[in-house]
Structure 1
Amino acid sequence: MKKFFLILAFILFFAVSVNAQMRVVTVKSGTSVFYYPELITAVYNAPEGSDIYIGGGVYEFTCNINKELHFYGVGCYPDSTIATGSTITIGNPRFIEGSDNSTISGINFTGHELRIIPVNGGNINNISITRCRIKRLSLETGVTNFKVSESIIDWIWDYWSSKVVFGCIIEKNIFINGYKALQGLDNAIIDHNIFLGYQPNGNLGGMFQSVTNSIFTNNIITSNVPRTELFSAGYGGNFNIIFKNNFVVIESFDPNYDFAEGQSNVSIDNQFYNDKTPADIFVKFENPDFDFGNDYHLKEPYNALTFSTDGTEIGIYGTQFPYKDGAVPVIPHYTTSEIGGELINGQLHINVTVEAQTK
């Protein structure tokens, strides 16, 4: 019976999503399924631990989330959401105390920021974000064991620059901003990401600020501004950084001066190219800002670089489970649809293609 309700929820959720003129938010709690036209209403009414499936469309999302919830959008890449439209939210949602173990996938957050912020001096543990588009991801004191992967992010920062966001895993993301792409992290693992280092105003400030006791491995780091500093002394500096097996492509970059300011930072087995630009290493790179039309695979001979710590390709297409182009959510997802306009012999012609990426 439980399996039947789950299948029914998926069918109704995605069937409605195919019709771009209709919006629906489906809440599944155990064997119970509820439908709402607005995301905020669904959040307020969803029982603890519910799955919330958000169809294509634009949804207001300014509210506090104070319970464990699991959000599934239909995706943010335009070429993988042709049939449904992207799941887009406006506003600034806040995950606060009580939202431990929540997960978020397949949403384009177009508001100013997505906040994970304890408001009463408590803690928030084990929040996970995958395959989303986020402008600014704001964290604060008390956030621990946070993970973000396979997402497109302008920057991550600790809201008060106090270096107390503890134990983050940041893996296989594309970061856009070149100034303070990461800020205020302690005991973080930053692995197999691409940092585009885009600085529209030519700001030479540090790409990473107030990062301590953390490990950077297997990342591709670029910038449109020559001699961009990697680690800045701003906001207390960066200390005890292990910078290992990264691929740095920044014009005129000098590892002796532009690598790190701080104490006890170690550079091991990195490759620095100061005579190349991002356009030289990526298959297609026509816009220095993030662009869905760019192709962030490495050109030859750089795609043969296997000096990473795990023996796979440097950047987002490494690891045992590489970044998935299109970032299709893990739940079944309509990629194409053809719905007849009239009944023929009492039947309506429907032809759909469904795709899911489980890893």
Structure 2
Amino acid sequence: MKKYIFLPLLFVSALCWGQAQFVVQNGNKTEVYTNINTAIENAVDGDTLYIPGGGFSLSSGNIYKSLHWVGVGHYPSETGATHASRITTAINLYDGCSGSSFEGIYFTGNFQIGIDADVTNITIKRCRIGGSITFRYNNNPTTPNLKTTVIECVINGSLTAKGAEGCSIQNSILFGTISYFKQSEFKHNAINANGSSSQVILNCESCLFINNAFGYENATNVYCTDCTLTNNVLAEAFPTNGSVTDGGGNFVSVGYGLSDVYTDLSGSNSVTTFSYDNDYSLKDPTWISSDGTTPIGIYGTATPYKTIPYYPHINAATVTDEVTNNQLGVDIEVQAQER
């Protein structure tokens, strides 16, 4: 429980004194820094780095140690009191970063996993990546099974695996081409890449696509080898290029107007453009998986898509502008997710 208390304290100090603070925790030992670069420099493998709301630029996006990065989230509806946690520098994970995790942060640039060597066991959860994400550093894997998980994220750019195996992309909203994955799974995603300008799925091999919504009109522009599509919603017909197996339960040719697949895209008026105001739940409640109960798409699991981190977050804060009895009145409302 000790690691939770610093988030409210961190935010109170930012409200009262306008000074962002970065908390680095190692077990029961905690250090507080006013500069994110100093915090990263002084952290050691296994530390948790708490990032407050605001936009922060790193002196270098090259990371060489295994850390657990925790922000306050990126959805405006949930971060009105704190602002979103944003990292405005492209991130490059070097050898030594295996086992790192990232939660509740908006990375506005590209995100590269592995620069000089394969980096494994990375978890990216409830983050937004404004650029593209690359899962390995070259096309000749030394460690094929990366065991990398992306869950409940928004990824605006492409996802390039360069032959990586063992990746799991779940409950995420994806807008770029998915390419060069092997023996990986894509489950309960909203896949909205522009298939008219490039292939939605390119040169993937032996991958499983289960319970996804392909929302764009050219969403079936795919090229796979021995991939299987099961219980997906597809705006157009089932793909015929490449060796793609129909695993059954797919809903095809459902239409590709702005309101044919998703409930409401009026925030962006585009399937291929993300908006926080869009509702990416599926329009038709009868689009369910083969178990007869689980809806397809990002909300169709026992652990559906959520917009804020697991860690406690601040919903509202009131700071008085007068001091009474040498005390400054601060009222903070904090809420924690169940998971």
Q: TM-score, normalised by structure 1?
A: 0.84
Q: In the aligned structure 1, how far is the partner of 2:157 from the partner of 2:292?
A: 26
| Contact 1:283 1:298 (C-alpha < 8 Å) held by counterparts | yes
Deviation digits for residues 81-133 of structure 1 (CA, Å, limit 9, x no counterpart):
1111111111111112111111100111112x0110141xx331110000011
| Residue 53 (structure 2) aligns with | 56
Q: In the aligned structure 2, how far is the partner of 1:278 from the partner of 1:130?
A: 28
Q: In the aligned structure 2, how far is the partner of 1:309 from the partner of 1:297?
A: 19
Describe the shift of the 1:310–1:150 C-alpha distance in structure 2 as closer, same or farther (beyond 3 A).
Answer: farther
Describe the shift of the 1:20–1:215 C-alpha distance in structure 2 as closer, same or farther (beyond 3 A).
Answer: farther
Describe the shift of the 1:209–1:72 C-alpha distance in structure 2 as closer, same or farther (beyond 3 A).
Answer: same
Describe the shift of the 1:309–1:290 C-alpha distance in structure 2 as closer, same or farther (beyond 3 A).
Answer: farther
> 1:158 Cα deviation (Å)?
2.8
Deviation digits for residues 237-290 of structure 1 (CA, Å, limit 9, x no counterpart):
x211011110012xxx343xxx14223634422111254424133221112111
| Contact 2:72 2:308 (C-alpha < 8 Å) held by counterparts | yes
Q: In the aligned structure 1, how far is the partner of 2:16 from the partner of 2:274?
A: 29
Q: In the aligned structure 1, how far is the partner of 2:71 from the partner of 2:134?
A: 21
| Residue 327 (structure 2) aligns with | 347
Query: Counterparts in 2 of 1:143-162, with a 5 A limit?
Result: 144-158=146-160, 162=162
Instruction: Determine which of 188, 200, 205 is the counterpart of 1:192.
Output: 188
| Residue 337 (structure 1) aligns with | 317
> 1:71 Cα deviation (Å)?
0.3
> 1:355 Cα deviation (Å)?
1.5
Describe the shift of the 1:356–1:18 C-alpha distance in structure 2 as closer, same or farther (beyond 3 A).
Answer: farther
| Residue 63 (structure 2) aligns with | 65
Describe the shift of the 1:128–1:338 C-alpha distance in structure 2 as closer, same or farther (beyond 3 A).
Answer: same
| Contact 1:246 1:270 (C-alpha < 8 Å) held by counterparts | yes
| Contact 2:254 2:261 (C-alpha < 8 Å) held by counterparts | no
> 1:21 Cα deviation (Å)?
3.2
Over the aligned positions, Cα root-mean-square deviation in angstroms equals 2.2
| Contact 2:7 2:313 (C-alpha < 8 Å) held by counterparts | no
Matched, 1:40 2:31: no
| Residue 248 (structure 1) aligns with | 234
Describe the shift of the 1:149–1:28 C-alpha distance in structure 2 as closer, same or farther (beyond 3 A).
Answer: same
Q: In the aligned structure 1, how far is the partner of 2:134 from the partner of 2:281?
A: 29
Q: In the aligned structure 2, how far is the partner of 1:137 from the partner of 1:19?
A: 37
| Residue 308 (structure 2) aligns with | 328
Deviation digits for residues 193-251 of structure 1 (CA, Å, limit 9, x no counterpart):
0012347xx52x3101121111000001111xx4444313xxxxx211011110012xx
Matched, 1:128 2:93: no
Matched, 1:295 2:288: no
Name which of structure 1's ranges 75-84 and 61-70 shifts more when overlaid on structure 2.
61-70
* Amino acid aligned to 2:242: G
Instruction: Determine which of 101, 104, 119 is the counterpart of 1:103.
Output: 101
Pairs aligned (count):
327
| Residue 221 (structure 2) aligns with | 230
Q: In the aligned structure 2, how far is the partner of 1:267 from the partner of 1:20?
A: 58
* Structure showing the higher helix proportion among its residues: 1
Instruction: Determine which of 128, 134, 139 is the counterpart of 2:135.
Output: 139
| Contact 1:153 1:175 (C-alpha < 8 Å) held by counterparts | yes
> 1:309 Cα deviation (Å)?
5.3
| Residue 93 (structure 1) aligns with | 91
| Residue 183 (structure 1) aligns with | 179
Describe the shift of the 1:19–1:313 C-alpha distance in structure 2 as closer, same or farther (beyond 3 A).
Answer: farther
Gaps of 5+ in 2: none
> 1:310 Cα deviation (Å)?
7.8
Matched, 1:174 2:173: yes
| Contact 1:245 1:309 (C-alpha < 8 Å) held by counterparts | no
> 1:29 Cα deviation (Å)?
1.2
| Contact 2:220 2:237 (C-alpha < 8 Å) held by counterparts | no
> 1:156 Cα deviation (Å)?
4.0
Gaps of 5+ in 1: 233-237
Deviation digits for residues 313-351 of structure 1 (CA, Å, limit 9, x no counterpart):
110001111112xx1111111111111111234433222
| 4+ residue runs over 4 A deviation | 17-20
Matched, 1:239 2:225: yes
Matched, 1:115 2:112: yes
Describe the shift of the 1:308–1:195 C-alpha distance in structure 2 as closer, same or farther (beyond 3 A).
Answer: farther
| Residue 235 (structure 1) aligns with | none
Q: In the aligned structure 1, how far is the partner of 2:17 from the partner of 2:258?
A: 37
Secondary structure at the residue paired with 1:124?
coil
| Residue 312 (structure 1) aligns with | 294
* Amino acid aligned to 2:24: V
